[in-house]
Amino acid sequence: MDLSATPTRSKSKPRSTPSKTIAASAAAQMDLSTPSKPTTRRKSKSVSSPPSIAPATPSTVRRSRRLLETPTRRLLETPTKDLVETPAKPAPAPTLKRKRAAPSPKTPIQAEPKRQRRLPKKKAHYRKVVYDGGEFAAGDDVYVKRREGAESDEEEPEEEECRVCFHAGGEVMVECDACLGGFHLRCVRPPLRRVPEGDWACPYCEAERAGRAIERPKQPVGKSIRRTAKEKLLSSDLWAARIESLWREPDGTFWAKVRWYTIPEETAAGRQPHNLRRELYRTNDLADIEMETILRHCYVMSPKEFRDASNEGDDVFYCEYEYDVHWHNFKRLADIDDEPETQEDPSDEPYNAGNDYNSDTDEDSEFEEEDGPAKRCSARKNQSHQFAANSRKGRIYGLQKIGIRKIPEHVRCHQKTDLEKAKATLLLATLPKSLPCRDKEMEEISTFVKDAICNDQCLGRCLYIHGVPGTGKTMSVLAVMRRLRSELDSGALRPYCFIEINGLKLASPENIYKVIYEQLSGHRVGWKKALHYLTEHFSDGTKIGKQTSQPIILLIDELDLLLTRNQSVLYNVLDWPTKPNSNLVVIGIANTMDLPEKLLPRISSRMGIQRLCFGPYNYRQLQEIITSRLKGIDAFEDQAIEFASRKVAAMSGDARRALEICRRAAEFADYRIKQFQQSGQAPSSANRGNGVVCMGDVEDAIQEVFQAPHIQVMKNCPKFGKIILAAMVHELYRSGLGEVLFDKLAATVLSWCHVNRELLPGYDTLLKICCKLGESKIVLCEEGTKHKFQKVQLNYPSDDVTFALKESPDLPWLSKYL
């Protein structure tokens, strides 16, 4: 019924832009309430929940009323505004566009230039608004109330009542993790002394879980329980939203663009068994609301904050996933703290992008927009046809489709053991909180960068960083840049622009110009043109894009990959900093120490003498790196870590290798323990099974990494293969030459077989075996079409072969030839 209602309503005012957006948002919100599953669930819950909540009318009905009434209200409102001030009519829509088009509100918009020019004067954006006694800023989470209906306007109780004595306040209360009811410590039977650690369920919930019938205390007659905002939200009488931006309309009303949160019941998948009681999903659905409807603050937290929050009051919620209202799927929220640029990333607001696009094309698309979600899906499909997901233009279209219909249970219900935690922190991808052992180098880098950008004239400079792989070169530079970024945010530094390029990820060395130019200007041109513009920019000071004279820090990883035959790319890149007003700082990273010496003299002279060496880690440093990652997790024996780090330090000093070995060892231990659990028997020896990674596991992991598997394969060769290998060793010692002709080899093999009474193999069988050995590169051999002229050579030292074949049980006679 909701579905039929909206189009007619919107058709009555089909051409006006504000009605369109409102209808669209209404339709979007309706998506949430249309699925039938949540309704039944909620009903069943209202039976199970304490009877005090029962007087509330079934919420779906109310919600749908709200949906229908909100547009009406706004529709009525907009015309009145029209009367007052005509140009302001399409106000909500342009803001939408503006947000998409460019972050700064001053940018003119292509579509309706006339109105736009006047609008910015009338509309004021704010970062912070004090409204109705509360201070609201962009990024805050708030409760949003429904407009009509008396009860929501009544004063919200800040404090919750005890579910046993039905009095609020007075004493410390504890919250049940199952029904979220509050209890005084003394009201619980048996009374509690302290707030218990970990999860706690009230006696009633525990009884219900155990299947016993238990009567929950009835509330005193005549006193209706006052519901807190949290309860209203969770029974979908309130809404939660996150303020994205705030502004004042020309008529003086305050508006906010908000991103809705939704409760699990309103998603397509419904509440899933592993959902937490206080869990919310962030949606990708945005709407403009009046500030009047905002009630007060609430706090939606990421899992980590939520875990750390202990006493933050009642309005705390947990949010781990984003819910796509159009595709009905879930996605984990990206870690915003780690990569702040994802916020600006267009893919972050994928639907809006499509929305914008639609409204820009033509009138017809408006109809599609207002029809049901199904039709919109198909419309979008047609549209995305032009925008292939992997091409540049269309990359943002389609990626929002990636998501899961339901949050997989194995992710949520899984309690991580110590070993699994250890594995997770040892992952190369997990960014450690601190970077131990590279303080000196980082200090040097940061002084270099600061020197370069703080000087007013900003002399062009160049720093070359070298070191073997896995010694933290890139990571240190990035860490320094992050630190500088935070200094920049606090205003201690001049603004600068940071460009990171990896030489190995460029399709060809010349593409570097293209990438640099694109990062500076946002335009894409061919590399020759880009080179031209860049040279102009750096030598003549011509401006590119909006970047003025900000210093540019260019980080080139894997610098040696930029070498071309005439080394022109490196020359150009390193020549720019020497130009008088280039404002360019180049940091090059590569493995080889003597790269500047290998270059042409004119390039190495431009590279300067400033070099920084990242030496391989020694075992103490490796040990420190590993232990700092494993802090607080008791999964490794101390000797095991030391053993691994000593071994790696002796081989390469590669931190990645050390981490991987430890992770592999943890995997071995985990595998062993899981096998024990499966078979149901207790760990056999105390040493090998007490749930920590011991020396044996590290040993195994090191074996796997460093030991070549050829000896194993040789030991398991077919019989004739072994004889051939032995014959090759024999021939090698006899002739002193590495290569041997197959003809000779076969003759030796056959004579040995003859003497030792083995079955004589055919020539062709031997040839085939030879080719097979050649395929696994145990021997090097020419192709088999050469038949008896095929040249064969051992690929491994003859001692390895002797070692592998010395005691083979099926060929006892072989050892006398070795």
Partner 1 sequence: MAAAAAAPVASQAQAVLRKRLCDPAFVHSPLKSSPDTNYSKLKYLVASSVSEACNNSVLLLGPRGCGKGAVLDMVLEDLKKEHPDAISVIRLNGMLHSDDNCAMKDIARQLCLQHELSFSKMASSDDNTEFMIDMLRECGLAHKTVIFILEEFDLFAQGKQRLLYSLLDAMQSLTSQAVVIGMSCRLDADQLLEKRVRSRFSHRKLLFIPSSLDDIQSLTEHLLMLDQASVLPTNYVTEYNSRLTSIFNHKKFKGILNSLTDADATTSNILRFLFRVVSYMDKESGLLSIDCFTNALSCMQRQPKMDSLQDLSILELYVLVCMNRLEDKEQNSYNFNTIMKEYKSIQDAYKTSDKYATTVCFRAFEHLLDRELITFADTKGRNIALEYRPVKLLISSRELAESLKLNTTCPTVLQKLLDRERYM
Q: Which of residues 461-490 bind partner 1 (CB under 8 A)?
A: 468-470
Nearer to partner 1, 392 or 440 (CB): 392
Is 718 near partner 1 (CB under 8 A)? yes
Nearer to partner 1, 257 or 423 (CB): 423
Phi and psi at 283, nearest 5°, equal -100, 170
Give the footprint of partner 1 on residues 510-549 (CB under 8 A).
Answer: 511
Strand ranges inside 180-315, DSSP E: 182-184, 239-248, 254-262, 279-290, 294-301
Nearer to partner 1, 408 or 580 (CB): 408
CA 90 to chain centre: 37
Is 650 near partner 1 (CB under 8 A)? no
> Contacting partner 1 (CB under 8 A), which of 9, 62, 146, 423?
423
Centre a 10 Å sphere on the Cβ of residue 383 and count the other Cβ atoms it contains: 17
* 579, 538 contact by CB (below 8 A): yes
Minimum CB–partner distance for residue 315 and partner 1 (Å): 27
Phi and psi at 196, nearest 5°, equal -65, 150
Minimum CB–partner distance for residue 49 and partner 1 (Å): 31
Strands 294-301 and 239-248: unpaired
> Contacting partner 1 (CB under 8 A), which of 428, 454, 492, 600?
428
Nearer to partner 1, 396 or 553 (CB): 396
> Contacting partner 1 (CB under 8 A), which of 389, 454, 593, 613?
389
Put residue 132 in one of left, alpha, beta given phi > 0 → left and psi -120 to 50 → alpha. Answer: left
Minimum CB–partner distance for residue 770 and partner 1 (Å): 12
Helix, coil or strand: residue 687: coil
Is 495 near partner 1 (CB under 8 A)? no
Minimum CB–partner distance for residue 161 and partner 1 (Å): 39
Minimum CB–partner distance for residue 710 and partner 1 (Å): 5
User: Which amino acid, one-letter code, is at 468?
Assistant: V
Helix, coil or strand: residue 750: helix
Is 85 near partner 1 (CB under 8 A)? no
Query: DSSP letter at 411?
Result: H
Give the footprint of partner 1 on residues 119-138 (CB under 8 A).
Answer: none
Strands 316-324 and 552-557: unpaired
Distance, in Å, from the CA atom of 641 to the CA atom of 624, rounded to the nearest integer, reads 9
Is 390 near partner 1 (CB under 8 A)? yes
Strand ranges inside 193-271, DSSP E: 239-248, 254-262
Minimum CB–partner distance for residue 152 and partner 1 (Å): 35
Give the footprint of partner 1 on residues 571-600 (CB under 8 A).
Answer: 591
The tokens of 361 are what? 């094309």
User: Which amino acid, one-letter code, is at 621?
Assistant: Q
* 445, 477 contact by CB (below 8 A): yes
Is 306 near partner 1 (CB under 8 A)? no
Burial of 549 (0-12, 13-18, 19+ CB in 10 A): exposed
Output the DSSP codes for 732-777.
HHHH--S-EEHHHHHHHHHHHHHHTTPPPPPHHHHHHHHHHHHHTT
Nearer to partner 1, 108 or 469 (CB): 469
> Contacting partner 1 (CB under 8 A), which of 41, 297, 656, 688?
656
What lies within 8 Å, CB to CB, of 507 at 6+ separation is none
Is 682 near partner 1 (CB under 8 A)? no
Minimum CB–partner distance for residue 663 and partner 1 (Å): 8
Minimum CB–partner distance for residue 673 and partner 1 (Å): 11
Q: Which residues pair with 239 in a beta bridge?
A: 144
Minimum CB–partner distance for residue 387 and partner 1 (Å): 7
- # of chain residues touching partner 1 (CB under 8 A): 97
Nearer to partner 1, 398 or 551 (CB): 398
Give the footprint of partner 1 on residues 764-783 (CB under 8 A).
Answer: 764-765, 768-769, 772, 775-778
* 296, 240 contact by CB (below 8 A): no
Nearer to partner 1, 310 or 785 (CB): 785
Distance, in Å, from the CA atom of 148 to the CA atom of 67, rounded to the nearest integer, reads 11
Query: DSSP letter at 106?
Result: T
> Contacting partner 1 (CB under 8 A), which of 64, 352, 384, 519?
384
Nearer to partner 1, 224 or 716 (CB): 716
The tokens of 279 are what? 């869990």
Closest by CA to 185, choosing from 205, 164, 204, 206, is 164
Is 551 near partner 1 (CB under 8 A)? no
Distance, in Å, from the CA atom of 2 to the CA atom of 9, rounded to the nearest integer, reads 11
Distance, in Å, from the CA atom of 204 to the CA atom of 176, rounded to the nearest integer, reads 10
Nearer to partner 1, 9 or 663 (CB): 663
Distance, in Å, from the CA atom of 94 to the CA atom of 74, rounded to the nearest integer, reads 17
Is 684 near partner 1 (CB under 8 A)? no
**Which region, judged by CB under 8 A, interacts with partner 1, from 68-76, 366-374, 485-493, 718-726?**
718-726
Nearer to partner 1, 18 or 467 (CB): 467
Give the footprint of partner 1 on residues 317-356 (CB under 8 A).
Answer: 329-335, 347
> Contacting partner 1 (CB under 8 A), which of 654, 697, 731, 800?
654
Nearer to partner 1, 41 or 768 (CB): 768
Centre a 10 Å sphere on the Cβ of residue 265 and count the other Cβ atoms it contains: 22
Give the footprint of partner 1 on residues 748-767 (CB under 8 A).
Answer: 750, 759, 761-765
Tally the residues of the chain: 818
Is 667 near partner 1 (CB under 8 A)? yes
Is 804 near partner 1 (CB under 8 A)? no
Per-residue x/- track, 221-240, partner 1 (CB under 8 A):
--------------------
